[in-house]
Amino acid sequence: MAKKAELLEKAAELKLDVTEKNTIAEIEAAIEGAAKTEVAEAEVVAEEAEVVAEKADVKTAKAGKRSEKALREAEEEAERLARKEAGDTSAQGDEEAHVKKGPAPKVRSKLERRGKNYRKVAEKVEAGKVYNLADALSLAVETNPAKFDASVEVHVRLGVDPRQADQNIRATVALPNGTGKKIRVAVFAPEADAAKALKAGADIAGDETFAKQLEKGELNFDVLIATPAYMPKLGKFARVLGPKGLMPNPKSGTVAADVAKAVTEAKAGKVEYRVDKQATIHLSIGKVSFGAKKLQENAAAFFASLQSQKPSSLKGSYVKSTAITTTMGPGIKVENQAN
């Protein structure tokens, strides 16, 4: 009985659920199980302390596999693999993804993002209205928001396919009143022809001297005119002249035997126009200072030339839309002038 009393006291200290009704063997088994549990818990605490100590001793590197970023990514990858093995397919951060977002930011219209002067003159153009050519040019002169003498431009969208050789529109037109720009003309021809070109008003003309300027990359001109015999000599400069649109071409009238006549036409306002990849032609027909009457004469000459270039193989409408605008002004829709 004394042994049982001692075992009951020890069991009471360990807070075990045993009474005098239990046998000595049952009390001893309960005490032994409690002792093993305490030992196991102590071992777990010791292991956790060792892990914490190891992590504290790890020194991270600035870069590489031991950097903070690499260690953090490794832990995230381990967590991802653990979730995958457990069958958890939900992506991390789903909670944030389902959070209700705030109202969408207000985006101003294109007109509101324009300058004050532009918005003021744009009020004169009726939205959706198609003007006749005379009214459109008069309105273009009134709606120039720039303080300088802006160019008046014509933009024509055609129904052609520029990839087809017979529909790749390219031509020249002599504007009766010029473009309002000072055109610098260069001539590459024999000395005798170069002298005639200089008398006709050419800015640069020559033979070998001019070729040396091209070799140095000096392109101090807007139009280059050459004689047919001198075209092969320009072949080595094609990579320089071609991207800038300065390579002479028979279609543009810049390859001519009579260089004096070609210079006179270029100075008088002969301009080249061509369709781009989007089947659109862009051309400046003068300055705001010209006034509506002179601009209308230039525009009429351009549209007459454009009509003469209509491909015979074209099916459907030739001109889809036309617009008039100044350099920085609003666009004005115009009735078709070439159909």
Give the max Cα distance, the chain: 143
Residues 206 and 141 occupy one common structural domain: no
Q: Note whether residue 201 is domain-resident.
A: yes
> Any idea what the CATH number is for the domain that residue 136 is in?
3.30.190.20
Per-residue model confidence (pLDDT) at position 255 = 87
Residues 158 and 188 occupy one common structural domain: no
Residues 280 and 169 occupy one common structural domain: yes
Residues 167 and 277 occupy one common structural domain: yes
> Any idea what the CATH number is for the domain that residue 191 is in?
3.40.50.790
Q: Of 268, 287, 303, which closes a domain?
A: 268
- Left (φ > 0), alpha (ψ -120 to 50) or beta: where does 103 sit? beta
Residues 263 and 274 occupy one common structural domain: no
Residues 248 and 322 occupy one common structural domain: no
**Pair of tokens at residue 302:** 């351009």
Q: Of 207, 242, 268, which closes a domain?
A: 268
Closest C-alpha to 115, from 331, 330, 323, 333: 330
Q: Note whether residue 95 is domain-resident.
A: no
pLDDT per residue as tens, the chain (339 positions): 566 677 667 767 766 666 776 777 776 777 777 666 765 666 665 666 565 555 555 556 666 767 778 878 888 888 888 877 776 655 555 555 556 677 778 887 777 787 888 888 888 888 888 999 999 999 999 888 888 889 999 999 999 988 888 888 888 888 888 888 888 888 988 888 888 888 888 888 888 888 888 888 888 888 888 888 888 888 888 888 888 888 888 877 888 888 888 888 888 878 888 999 999 999 999 999 998 899 999 999 999 999 998 988 888 889 999 999 998 889 899 988 765
Distance CA(324)–CA(154), nearest Å, equals: 5
Sign of CA dihedral 240, 242, 244, 249: positive
* Domain boundaries, position 136: 127-180+269-339
* Predicted model pTM: 0.60
Residues 206 and 251 occupy one common structural domain: yes
Per-residue model confidence (pLDDT) at position 72 = 82
